Structure 1
Amino acid sequence: MAGAAVSSCGGGSSSTDPQRNAKARTFTLTIARNAIVGGKNDAEASWITKTVIPGFVAAEKAKGLRVKVVYHGYGVDDDAYKTKTALDLKSKAGADIVSLDGIWVGEFAQARYIKPLADVVGARADSWDGWSQISPSVQQLGSFQGKRYGIPPSTDGRVLFYNKKLFARAGLPVNWQPRSWDEILAAGRALKKLPGVTPLQFDAGTAMGEATTMQGVLPLLAGAGAQIYSGGKWTGGGAAMKQVLGFYQHLYGPEGLGDRKLQQEAKGRDKSFEEFANNRIGVLLEGVYLWRAVLNPKDGIARMPDRDQAVGYALIPAVAPGKGVQGRSFVSMSGGSVATVNPHTKYPQQAFDLLAYLNRPDVVKARIAGNPEVTSRNDVNAEALKNDPFLSFVAQKVLPVTLFRPGLAAYTQVSTALQEATAGIVAGHSPDDAAGQYNGKLEGIVGGAGNVNAG
């Protein structure tokens, strides 16, 4: 996630006309993304230039319209892309269709750099037929304060990966679905009897960076019944956070169900991938990335030839059934990008046509051809992922219970404070002490106790 902050005093016109230039017969539209042919995110850039643009131009020509679409591709660090995009939008410039990391949506909305789609293009933004194919949970990725700001093209999810071979050796079921944290810990204790095996790996500490937050604290916090930001307040070091840190203590405290040293190494996460692939970690909380890019038998960075047979996956349970956020028994966290219409476009109706085209089922299927991924569309997932049991599991079981990070400027600092709290547990501090230190840091970050929910 990029860390550059957006000023809350940003510009943006106070009102716009969604119908301006709606009857134009000749026009030019632009698309901007941090993807460049032959470089960063090459597949996405190639899809836009070779499939989207010629397809949209042809479709518009069939309606008697003369359209030109220009692609502005970048291949830079996410921070640099975020800064450029913010400056463009602040100065009422930039592309007609802009891609943002979902974590930036709230920040950009508060700065008034982007506006709700319904404000930019009118009622048709909410009547788009594609919304019926995007789960309400996934729509959160492009929403802020109950309003849609853009369309998420795809997403991911976090699950518990486990090694079936180690489970069999430990006398555990190879078709495993824990229903509480106690059941996870029980599996860890059984796995601890196997020599040379780390039972449980939940990212902790600051060396893991954002992975600690997304692959550890936030899903556990949701399982304890809280979200890091809800109702205008940030969750402090109360009961829910202490439950999370108490779980970490089982792993990295005296019971030793996890590897403390791994959490402190600069490349600890990469090492955890290698150890899991080499049958030395029993359970690893990770995202879709682990399956698709790390363990992939063909070209993974830690290839696991027998991945499909040896690796199981399960939903992340709440601390106990029905005790998760919103009464859920299972939880997850997801991320992804969002495409939105620049509020300063000269052609809001035409720009929305292009945005809708980008998310049309056949166009989305063309994007993931040969490299399946979990898209935001249920209809595409049902067809494109039918022969991929894992991605189907994520699409059907994980997305309905997933949550997203708050897209607010303070989040980056809050995330660091969460990482430091888990680092305290790894260093031997008690959950109460780590929670208290976190709460003090949080109040300093978000402007005092009045912005913190004691939890």
Structure 2
Amino acid sequence: MRPARMLTALAAATLALAACGSEGSSSGSGDDNTLTITANAISGGKNAATADWTKNWLIPKFQEAQKAKGRNVQVTFQPNGVDDEQYKTKIALDLKSKAGADIIDLDGIWVGEFAQAGYIKPLNEAAGPEVDKWEGWSQIPEAVQGLGAFEDKKYGLPQGTDGRVLFYNKKLFAKAGLPADWQPKSWQEIIDAGTALKKAGVPTPLQIDAGTAMGEATTMQGALPLLVGTGSEIFADGKWAGGSQAVKDVLGFYRQIFTAGLAEPRLQQEAKGRDKSFQQFADGKIGVLAEGDYFWRSVIEPKAGVAPMQDREDTVGYALIPAKQPGAGVRGQDFVSMSGGAVRVLNPNSKNPKLAWELLAFMHSAEATKEGLIGEARITSRTDVNDEVLKDNPMLDFVAQKVLPITSYRPGLAVYPQVSVALQEATADIVSGKSVEEAAAAYDKKVADLVGPENVTR
């Protein structure tokens, strides 16, 4: 189904969602000094911190700044507290109807789909040339700007983001004779470390998510970082990666670690396999685990983590994910990563797009970005804010300084989730013992069936 038709169908099927927790007027009503902001956030509920920041700090501050310029501006927040797909459908309905808020929160993975449907426009088309002169662009790494971009055009401003790295247990590394400051420079060096860990008696030397039970974690933590490490992307130049040599290289890496006994097949096949891998890493049974910085912040966090490690600071190391070999990654990189996150876009139907851009730019200023953290150490899209708020958190600072400039993003297209499942199924084939050729051929057919053979790169 074409993206525009898919979004239209979603919208038509859920007209009742037009009132799902929203308050305030749309951009199509009121005078030119009235603006609205919407997000899937609501005080006391989903993403409450975002809702509270918007209502209690952002809006009063912006209105105060505008008053100082002699303008009486009224900004209204439209809260939502629903399932992400319901929120997505409501926004699609609003935009299709040329209604909705002036500034809209979107998941970065939706940008391409909304752009193809014609529901959003590049920022400089929506608000004018002042967009390109914004000071904030110099503080957002080009790779991070990609979160809000589609086909080389900037549709939204990225909010917070994250990055994937290799976490490793320094105590197990010492037992295996490996360095505490490990930084592999190729896939082979990962395999070499796994081999040394196996010889040292580590139960599971490597954990690179695979299979369908892991869901999108397989794609984001394993398959896609490996794929960009070959210099290829899942979607590029209008085509999807089929059973190409790059995909075969990724599947070949998986086959190598599983056939050599460096990874545990059962972890990939169990319903709670990912959670079990977290606990096993915390228990010192996994040597290397590929994950996002969420793992550091929320899983092995010593006090409130899902699988707390009291000795996290001394025991856990982290390294960049290497390309297949030096220089083989996307953009000729030696190291790679994948990231996700949310963006804010301008409604192309806004009655006052230039004022809306002023508000959007203010929302992403250093002051507003820092205030939105509410004292927490989290990675933002702005380098200047990260330099300040992450200086006492070496791991998150590592992601901000080293990972974000080299990261990549999933394509924000409607068919992506289905392609992702096909890729997960290909890795599951490898785990179950199929050959690389068999797994790649099955994957290629599925992708061709989804997008048409003419839209597949082989």
Q: TM-score if structure 2 supplies the norm length?
A: 0.93
Letter in 1 for 2:455: N
Is residue 457 of structure 2 the alignment partner of residue 453 of structure 1? yes
- Residue in 1 that maps onto 2:169: 163
1:148-297 to 2 correspondences below 5 Å: 148-195=154-201, 197-252=203-258, 254-297=259-302
How far did residue 71 of structure 1 move?
Answer: 1.1
Which residue of structure 1 lines up, in the alignment, with residue 17 of structure 2?
Answer: none
- Which of 358, 376, 383 does residue 381 from structure 2 map onto? 376
Contact 1:251/1:258 (<8 A) preserved: yes
Displacement of 1:326: 2.3
Report if aligned partners of 1:334, 1:404 keep a CA contact under 8 Å in 2.
Answer: yes
- Count of residues in correspondence between the two structures: 438
Could you list the per-position Cα deviations for residues 174-199 of structure 1 after superposition, in whole angstroms to 9, with x for gaps in the alignment? 11000011100011111113446211
Q: Which runs of 5+ in 2 are unaligned?
A: 10-26
1:131-150 mapped onto 2 (5 Å cutoff): 131-150=137-156
Q: What secondary structure is seen at the aligned counterpart in 2 of 1:159?
A: strand
| 2:113 corresponds to 1:107 | yes
Instruction: Give the corresponding residue for 2:131.
Output: 125
Superposition map of 1:384-395 within 5 A: 384-395=389-400
Instruction: Write the deviation string for residues 322-378 of structure 1: whole angstroms up to 9, x where unpaired.
Output: 111222110000111110110111111111111011011011111114211111111
Is the counterpart of residue 342 in structure 1 residue 340 in structure 2? no
Deviation digits for residues 270-326 of structure 1, max 9, x if unmatched? 111111111111101100111111111121111111111111000000111111122
Shift of 1:257: 0.7
Amino acid at match of 1:169: K
Q: Is the 8 A contact 1:25 1:64 kept in 2?
A: no
Would you say the 8 A contact 1:141–1:336 is kept in 2?
A: yes
| 1:15-26 pair list within 5 angstroms | none
* Alignment partners' CA distance in 2, 1:269 and 1:429: 22
CA separation in 2, counterparts of 1:312 and 1:35?
34
Q: How many Å separate the matches in 1 of 2:70 and 2:231?
A: 54
In the aligned structure 2, how far is the partner of 1:104 from the partner of 1:74?
17
CA–CA distance in structure 1, aligned partners of residues 411 and 40 of structure 2: 22
Which SS does the other structure have where 2:156 is aligned?
Answer: coil
Correspondence for 1:14: none
| Contact 1:294 1:303 survives alignment (8 Å) | yes
Separation in 1, partners of 2:145, 2:455? 26
User: For residue 65 of structure 1, what is the aligned residue in structure 2?
Assistant: 71
1-structure distance, mates of 2:239, 2:72: 49
Separation in structure 2 between the aligned mates of residue 68 and residue 240 of structure 1, nearest angstrom: 52
Alignment equivalent of 2:36, drawn from 30, 40, 44: 30
Question: Alpha-carbon deviations, 1:65-89, whole Å to 9, x = none?
Answer: 2122111122221111111111111
Unaligned runs of 5+ in 1: 12-20
Cα offsets for 1:234-268 (capped at 9, x unmatched): 1111211111101111222x311111001011111
Distance 2:7 2:307 in 1: 45
Dislocated runs of 4+, deviation >2 Å? 4-11, 24-27, 193-197
Matched, 1:408 2:409: no
The yes-or-no answer on 1:311 pairing with 2:316 is: yes
Structure 1 residues 102 and 119 mapped into 2: Cα distance closer, same or farther (>3 Å)? same
Inter-partner Cα distance in structure 2 for 1:5 and 1:53: 34
Hey, what's the Cα distance between the residues in 1 that align with 2:76 and 2:254? 50
Of 328-337 and 28-37, the range deviating more from structure 2: 28-37
- Aligned CA RMSD, in angstroms, stands at 1.8
- SS across alignment from 1:372: coil
Summarize deviations over 1:204-243 as a string: whole Å, max 9, x none: 0111111100001000011112111111111111211111
Question: In structure 2, what residue type is equivalent to 1:318?
Answer: A
